[in-house]
Amino acid sequence: MMRKVLLILSLSALLAGLWLLWPRQTPVLPPKPAPAVVAPEPQAAKPKPGLAAKPAVSVTEKIPEPVTESFKLLARAYAAELELPPYSRPLSVDDEHLLNPNRYIPQAVPLEGGASASIVLPKYRFSYPETVPVTLEINGLQVFDVSVQLVAEGAAGSSETAEMRGTPQRYTATLSPEQGWNGAFEVQVSFSANGTTQVLKTGIEYHNPVATIVGVADSRGVGADMQIPVQLEVKQAGFYRLRANLYTEQRQPLALLTTTEKLGSGKQELTLRAFKAVLRNNSGPYLLGSFILEKRPAVPGELTRYGDSAQAEYRLEPFSLGQLSDDPWQPDEQELQRLQFLQQMAGQ
């Protein structure tokens, strides 16, 4: 699926390149009328020896073959995308970044003499009142005086400092949060080795949640969609976007579900929709998890705020797929126009 998405995202770059490569004709201006003069009696024109009248040349513009082939791939990928609604996209085991949207990926930093060090965190985004466990992994070097600082973005001083302890290959510390932590932070781990002090840095986000998922109600069938009501406690009113992954009971991925809606404060509800085709004839039970709850910026310059969930995942009861229609998804007019344009550029 992601290969298809990447093809669609490459359309703008391809169009820009096509504009640069497209053959252009030099505009031909109409000749200016000659001034009126009295001419002598016309005489038969004598052709110059060795010269013959040249036939008119017809020039046909043609899209380069590599560009045409690229448009064929884009057209096929986009046509496949339009078979399913954007709020209910299929998931596979290969979609690692969607299955683990809050994953932190450690990066090893090379040091002198072939040694290396890396900061390891359990995830990238944290919610109050979670602590922040930090681990330093060292290979091929003996280090001393290991400590960690958590620095708020744009702040002059550190928000929290702790000494790290452990074995020569692994040092750990846990940072306790403050209720006012909100936004981007930099994790700075410093240590001494061979008479010099070195500092490793990485980034995280820490938020005081503006809303919390507290439960999931019974699913219901509407048209071709299995609708899943998600219950929330909202602290700050605004436009919210919820993304969640739907799995089988055996934790096999089925679909990425997305919804956006304006919510007031207090007890609220967002409805996720799973299109019948993405359920792959699986009638449950299901698991709903991997939540990302965002409060979208209301004005330019405002930062995205995040919510959390009381549970990492919720179990959904079996659902009779017979309640759902087999009606195909109908793209809107703009999507169909984009597809028609791609097909025309591909010569289809």
Which tens digits make up the pLDDT trace of 154-174? 765 567 899 999 999 999 999
Q: What is the tens place of the pLDDT at every residue in 303-327? A: 899 999 999 999 999 999 999 999 9
The pair of structure tokens assigned to 260 is 């956006």
More confident residue, 339 or 192: 192
Q: What's the pLDDT score for residue 38? A: 38
CB-based contact 259:273 (threshold 8 Å):
yes
Report the predicted TM-score, pTM, of the whole model to 2 decimal places. 0.73
DSSP 3-state of 343: helix
H helical segments located in 57-170: 65-81, 96-99
How far apart CA 162 and CA 180 sit, in angstroms, is: 19
Spelled out in words, what is the top-level CATH class assigned to the domain 211-323? mainly beta
Residue 84 has pLDDT above 60, yes or no: yes
CB-based contact 245:210 (threshold 8 Å):
no
- Domain coordinates in residue numbering, the chain: 1-13+65-83, 115-207, 211-323
Residue 232 has pLDDT above 80, yes or no: yes
How far apart CA 177 and CA 127 sit, in angstroms, is: 9
Query: pLDDT-derived band of residue 20, with 50, 70 and 90 as boundaries?
Result: very low
CATH topology of domain 115-207: Immunoglobulin-like (2.60.40)
The pair of structure tokens assigned to 90 is 């299929």
Query: Average model confidence (pLDDT) for the chain?
Result: 82
DSSP 269-338: EEEEEEEGGGGTT----EEEEEEEEEE--SSTTPPPEE-EESSSEEEE----GGGS--PPP---HHHHHH
More confident residue, 101 or 31: 101
Residue 2 has pLDDT above 60, yes or no: no
